[in-house]
Structure 1
Amino acid sequence: MRTVRDAAFDVLRRTGMTTIFSNPGSTEIPLLAGLPDDFAFVLGLHEGAVVGMATGWAIAHNRPALALLHTTAGLGNAVGAIATARSNRAPVVIVTGQQDRRHLALEPFLAGHGLTALAGPYPVWTAEPVRPQEVPGAIARACHEAATRRGPAIVVVPQDDWAQPAEEAVLAAPGTVLRPAAVTDADVAELARLLAGARSPALVTGAGADSPEAWRALVALAERLRCPVFAEPFGSRAGFPQDHPQYGGLLPAEREGLRERLRGHDVVLAVGAAAFRQYVYRPGPLVAAGTVVAVVSDDPDEVHRSAAELAVLAPPAAVCERLAALVPERTGVAAPSFARDTAPPYTPGEPLRAVHVLGELAARLAPETILVEETPSSRPDLVRLIPARRPLGFLAAGMGGLGFALPAAVGLRMAAPDRPVVAVTGDGAALYGIQALWSAAHYHVGVLFVVLANGRYAVMDRLAEGIGAGKAPWPPFPEVSVAGLARSLGCPARRVEDLADLTAVLDEVIPALGRRDEPLLLDVAVVPDTEYRL
């Protein structure tokens, strides 16, 4: 008898979701026991790590990844990671178990209540099939929804559904969805006129422009306009080559600084980014009077929340390619050329600071490296010192919650084994996703994890000091050994306490990082930064 499980596996094969990231429970055993040989199973020791690995895998492949979670507790544990996947526009299909349909009315042990609502508004689509035969079609649709709407889609499946006959399986989803991305001259004519008439234009690029096609189009447009290109505040990916001479750095994440940085530009075009993401609230307008803001994005939410006079809802690469062909070249002005920052010199005998570690990484990382960031107190120095030189060269959690970097780096390296992957994280941040180190070790994933260990939540300390309301109540945690935790999870680790140790291990590891099949964690002792800069 052909079962719903058999039909579901056929859907997963057709959609390319044959790698299953999971931390299963009893409600998932009927699906997983006797898994077909053409499927790969990746175990994570926490649901946040599971969804984080799937998120990294989906971003690297640019197509849906599959995560399988246990009922209520498992899905609940993953909600923060699901929110991050949505913010990072990662197409992740999440299949969640449910108790046996035949006695759900009696509310048995592990019965889930309102599972499709548990993750709140963060999934792009949810389904709880009414009949077992609808499960394969629901999974197919979830794949299409995740890919089209760029986010996590959830399907809840009772554990007894998998064994039901599939003769009447309802495949209410197309086998293939084509998503044409053509843009005509007429579609961008108004935007082209705006740029053509600009006296001093500027570009702002974001995560939605992080693709080879968008980078090529944006370089052509920036060089034609001879204008500066800035990165969106708190962007999760780089939308422009940051070693290009016209790259002007990261925009401030508060209004006064944003206004000053963009002052003098009469037209500002944000590409693959909203206008404009902020962090700490400050009064006043986003831009100075006389500055016209326009937005190009294929994300409706991003477009609709932007404070802009004009927005184009279309693929950034296609729009910028047409703009580069239509907008006349600006003559009579020199293209800006920004100098690259370097780390301050290290004085022998002084304590090691995060900026010194980042400077040593900057001097050694290959252009094709994927850098995953989760170090809040040191992020300004990281994005200033280590430019993204290739598409997908930089990745951070778009939501801002902790626990993303370690599992995402594992998923990225699994999906892109030909690229070196380095995760730079604080010790406080690492503790939220530490379970991913077991998966990295068990599956021979050669990521370099660099933990900037200051024994405290340094960014929280600085923010508390900044409001001047008195001493913060939380203590430091210098007793925590991230290297010790890594070793307990089977991941090789080294403690680094001075610059000589650091440079020696980096010189040993980084040249062969692209070929490495064993993870390594560096637990680097640094003193806390004394100030926090947006």
Structure 2
Amino acid sequence: MPTVRQRTYDMLRAHGVTTFFGNPGFTELPFLTDFPADFTYYLGLQEAAVVSMADGYAGVTGMPVVVNLHNAPGVGNAMGNLKTAFHNKTPLIITCGQQRRDMCLYEPGFYNRDARDLPKPYVKWSYEPQRAQDIPAAFQRAIHIACQEPQGPVFLVLPVDDWEREADPLPLVIRRVSTRVAPDPQALASAAGRIAAARNPCLIAGAAIDRAGAWDEMVALAEKLRAAVYGAPAASRAAFPENHRLFRGALVFDRELLRHWLEDHDLLVVVGAAVFDFDMGGMGPVLPEDSDLLLFTDDPEEAARAPAGDAVLGNVKLALTTLAQAVPETTATWPQTTPNMPTPATGDPIQPHALFALLEELRPKDGAVVLEASSHASAMHMRMPITVPRGFFYAGVGGIGNGLPTAVGVQLAQPDRRVICATGDGAMLYTLQALWTAAQHQARIVVVVLDNAGYAVLKESGDYLGVGHDQPGLDTPGVDLVKLAEGFGVPGIRVEQYAGLRSAFEQALAADGPMLLSVRVDPTLRPLLS
């Protein structure tokens, strides 16, 4: 009779779930005993880094991965980046060890009190099997739930003494469950009619387009309408080629500015994004005067909580395919293209615009970019347009420390692809342990740290809020990022003058493994939403 562990691995293999990220402990060792040779385990040195590496890997493949965390402390360490993975709608199977069943009544040290509640509300489902024999079926259910749109993390609590027990004598039936739900045809037909009747519609592209593999369908609809396309505010993925003549840039998360930008459009068609993520708020109505809104989303909660407009629920690729066929091709003239940007200043101190312009000149255009430098997001998108699917990853949910490990995960999932991680020094310091994993696997990532020796985005936020930026705790002097990287096995270069930037980029882009560039950038503050 096979053991629970053997049956579990057989089930995972049948579903193609053979990739683990983790940092194991006492309660996880029996699960990992006799780890299958055809499975892969990526070790991370801290659980926050582990979760974001898995987030990047599963985000680029679209397939679930197992995240192996140690007990309640491991889950606690991971929670900030687990929240990010939840908002990114990434299919992760999070596992957490539990004390032996015969000891749980007495709550010894490794016992997890109320274990199922530990990661809530940032998981889609949380379960602690009642019997050891239920573990394989619980994993199968977890896979199905994680992969249903909207995708997201799930959580399993697994007692340490369950794995050597005999599996259920009845064989586990491997089940397949479809993951895409088509939108209501009548709702789609009505929406297509409203789009066709609009005087000057615009499209707002959200991350679900990239997750669904629907770039081509989004481009087809935009070109048929000849409609301006905007990126959704703080979107975690790029969803439209940013060098396309219809692209007008990303919207900001301030409702007054958003209304001003969109005031010429009588219909806002939002695809695959929330309406809207206003982190900084603003006053007044959500929509411009005399404008209406249509939302296409795979997320019932996004549809329900939208403060304006009507929603059509279902897979966005299927929705876009139908809409592109249903709306008539417009006879309107193509909108004017945006003027070319001026050449950035290339002197010292190094300007972020100049840095990104040079990096755009040198980088492979089919690579991926991971951004965690909020102060410089606008400069990056202006100078380094994202033009390929699954080419951009960003977490705009308020926590930091996800960018570097996400970049490692993206590269491990696609070893032949060059990945650039543009991060701030403050964010880098949260999860720099991911450098060790990158070094161990020779992940081809270029880590560009825009070092301003502090939390510039917080200073800019203080100015935006009208409270200034003289609060304590906003500066981080005295950190040598190159030495830290070298301590984890990653070579680094410090760049303090623009004249040294090109050679540093060329060296990093030619490397066979990871390299970190610590670039001292101009610390001058800019308006937060510029």
Query: 2:502 matched to which residue of 1?
Result: 503
Q: What's the CA shift for 1:210?
A: 1.0
Following the alignment from structure 1 to structure 2, what is the Cα–Cα distance between the partners of residues 468 and 309?
Answer: 32
Q: Are positions 1:47 and 2:42 aligned together?
A: no
Partner of 1:408: 406
CA contact (8 A) 1:375 1:424 kept: yes
1:530: which partner in 2? 525
CA distance change for structure 1 residues 517 and 158 in 2, over 3 Å: closer, same or farther?
A: farther
CA drift of 1:213 comes to 4.4
Asked if residue 86 in structure 1 is aligned to residue 86 in structure 2, the reply is: yes
* Match in the other structure for 1:249: 249
Match of 2:479 in 1: 480
Letter in 2 for 1:529: T
Percent of pairs identical after alignment?
A: 38
**Contact 2:508 2:516 survives alignment (8 Å):** no
Structure 1 unaligned blocks of 5 or more: none
* 8 A contact 1:129–1:156 mirrored in 2: yes
Q: TM-score, normalised by structure 1?
A: 0.95
- Which residue does 1:154 correspond to in 2? 155
Are positions 1:59 and 2:59 aligned together?
yes
Partners of 2:435 and 2:244 lie apart in 1 by 35
Q: Within the alignment, does 1:377 sit opposite 2:378 as a pair?
A: no
Matched residue, 1:229: 229
Give distance in 2, aligned partners of 1:38 and 1:473.
51
- Which residue of structure 1 lines up, in the alignment, with residue 198 of structure 2? 198
Please state how far the C-alpha of 1:185 moved relative to its aligned partner. Answer: 5.2
**CA contact under 8 A between 2:107 and 2:113: conserved in structure 1?**
no
8 Å contact from structure 1 (residues 426, 452) kept in 2: yes
Counterpart CA distance in 1 for 2:340 and 2:98 is 53
Change in Cα spacing, 1:290 to 1:138, as seen in structure 2 (3 Å) is: same
Q: CA deviation at 1:533?
A: 2.6
1:146-205 Cα distance to aligned partner (Å, 9 max, x none): 11141100110000011111134784x752112355557544111011011100110000
**Distance in 1 between the 2:288 and 2:489 partners?**
54
* Separation in 2, partners of 1:467, 1:247: 30
Contact 1:133/1:169 (CA < 8 Å) preserved in 2? no
Cα distance, 1:109 vs structure 2: 1.5
CA distance change for structure 1 residues 210 and 14 in 2, over 3 Å: closer, same or farther? same
TM-score (norm 2): 0.96
Q: 1:355 to 1:440 in 2, by over 3 A?
A: same
C-alpha contact (below 8 Å) 2:71/2:112 kept by paired residues: yes
Contact 1:55 1:408 in 2 (8 A): yes
1:518 has 2:513 as partner:
yes
Amino acid at match of 1:162: W
The whole-number CA distance in structure 1 between the counterparts of 2:384 and 2:398 is: 20
Letter in 1 for 2:100: D
| CA distance in 1: counterparts of 2:341 and 2:114, whole angstroms | 51
Query: What's the counterpart of residue 28 of structure 2?
Result: 28
Query: Which SS does the other structure have where 1:265 is aligned?
Result: coil
Unaligned runs of 5+ in 2: none
On the 8 A contact 1:4/1:132 being kept in 2, the answer is yes
Q: CA RMSD in A?
A: 1.8
Per-residue CA deviations over 1:91-140 (Å, capped at 9, x if unaligned) read 00011101111111111121111121111211011110001000111111
8 A Cα contact 2:212 2:316, kept in partner: no
Q: How far did residue 268 of structure 1 move?
A: 0.7
Instruction: State which of 354, 359, 362 in structure 1 corresponds to 2:360.
Output: 362
Q: Deviations over 1:394-445 (max 9, x none)?
A: 1011423111111111111111122211100000000111010000001111
Once residues 183 and 468 of structure 1 are traced to their aligned partners in structure 2, the CA distance between those partners, rounded to angstroms, is: 44
Q: Quote the Cα distance in structure 2 between the aligned partners of 1:336 and 1:275.
A: 27
Give 1:212 shift: 7.7
Residue 234 of structure 1: SS of its match in structure 2?
Answer: coil
Tell me how many residue pairs correspond in the alignment.
Answer: 527
Counterpart contact for 2:5–2:164, Cα < 8 Å: yes
